Structure 1
Amino acid sequence: MAEQSIAGKKVAFLLTDGVEQVELTSPWNAVKEAGGEPTLVSPASGKVQGYNGTEKGETFAVDLPVAQADAGDFHALVIPGGVVNADHLRVDKDAQAFTRAFFEQHKPVASICHGPWMLIDTDVVRGRNLTSYHTLRTDLTNAGANWTDEECVVDQGLVTSRNPDDLPAFNAKVIEEIAEGEHAGQTP
């Protein structure tokens, strides 16, 4: 995994309570192993509650409130899944603005499982190729995305995957896209 270096690159992880724990911890660790600096950004304060499916998992300390976060301070964004996490994030105006700013700045964005719900409400999926957890297919296609059932889809700096089984491929592409930097085609 640590074949590519992203030394010194700052990566925002946007999430809230209900995050699917492994979809946070696995890419987080991959970023750290590759030399990146992950930061937990959230509309929640204090700590967020992770889940392993429907069972409570660990809690994770919030590093930066999303209302104070600036995409200009980061090189990339990762949006983990979890039904509750994604459903709450997608309606948060600060989270929407923060996410959209990464697209406006042509920076890599990665999202897995239910995380792409956020991309619908941020209005950045029209004409883009992506995947997600299968239950989001209709939502994403209705929002104009080109949805496919693949392990990992990369479209001009946008990395998406379906579920925790896809994490090895997802993590590898996240690191690759961060290492490549800005993508001209990564636009809202």
Structure 2
Amino acid sequence: MSKVAFLLASGFEDSEMKVPYDEVIQAGHQAEIIGLKKNETLLGKKGNVSYAADKAIREVKASEYDAIVIPGGSSPENLRLDQDVLAFVKEADRAGTPIASICHGPQILISADLLQGRTITSYPPLKDDVVNAGAEFRDEEVVVDGNYITSRTPQDEPAFVRELLKVL
């Protein structure tokens, strides 16, 4: 089975973490939560769920994972300035590892300068940021472009999870 990294900081959109995480585990895959600090408690923005980081970003290599999931909310904003996070997603992208990001998740891809020539979707208010980063924006429930799987909002979670599980 596959090993999936969930990049997470506090302020994540509760369901955008919980639904894919639970579905990945239920499908028999291994899921690890990667945060800025190991064992740090990470709280969802709605307060419905919390997780502890299994590992710190500086302790892992992208090559250890078969896919990466970036939940939305304000978690990506809290991660995008960390150079280890950016190096991790760049390494994954170079290897063609699937990167699934939902809602504000593409903010990390923007900061890692990985969207040039790509086609993605995101939380609609990020459209200008996505386009300015060189990507084509599509307002669709899920967009798959090469190794990228992107979705807009919690309402798109079924399509997001479906495409994630396909690549696993």
TM-score, scaled relative to structure 1 = 0.86
Query: C-alpha distance in 2, partners of 1:101/1:107?
Result: 9
Q: Gaps (5+ residues) in structure 2?
A: none
Q: What RMSD over aligned residues (CA atoms) do the two structures have, in Å?
A: 0.9
Which residue is 2:19 aligned to?
A: 26
Give yes or no for the alignment of 1:90 onto 2:80.
yes
Q: How do 1:118-129 residues align onto structure 2 when only pairs under 5 Å count?
A: 118-129=108-119
Q: How far did residue 148 of structure 1 move?
A: 0.7
CA contact (8 A) 2:18 2:49 kept: no
SS of 1:60 mapped into structure 2: strand
Q: How far did residue 98 of structure 1 move?
A: 0.9
CA contact (8 A) 2:93 2:147 kept: no
Which residue is 2:91 aligned to?
A: 101
Which residue is 1:72 aligned to?
A: 63
Which residue is 1:35 aligned to?
A: 28
Amino acid at match of 2:12: V
Amino acid at match of 1:69: V
Amino acid at match of 2:97: K
Give yes or no for the alignment of 1:153 onto 2:143.
yes
Query: C-alpha distance in 2, partners of 1:58/1:10?
Result: 22
Amino acid at match of 2:102: I
Percent sequence identity over matched residues?
A: 39
CA contact (8 A) 1:17 1:44 kept: no
Q: Gaps (5+ residues) in structure 1?
A: 1-7, 179-188
TM-score, scaled relative to structure 2 = 0.96
Which residue is 1:59 aligned to?
A: 50
Q: How far did residue 177 of structure 1 move?
A: 1.9
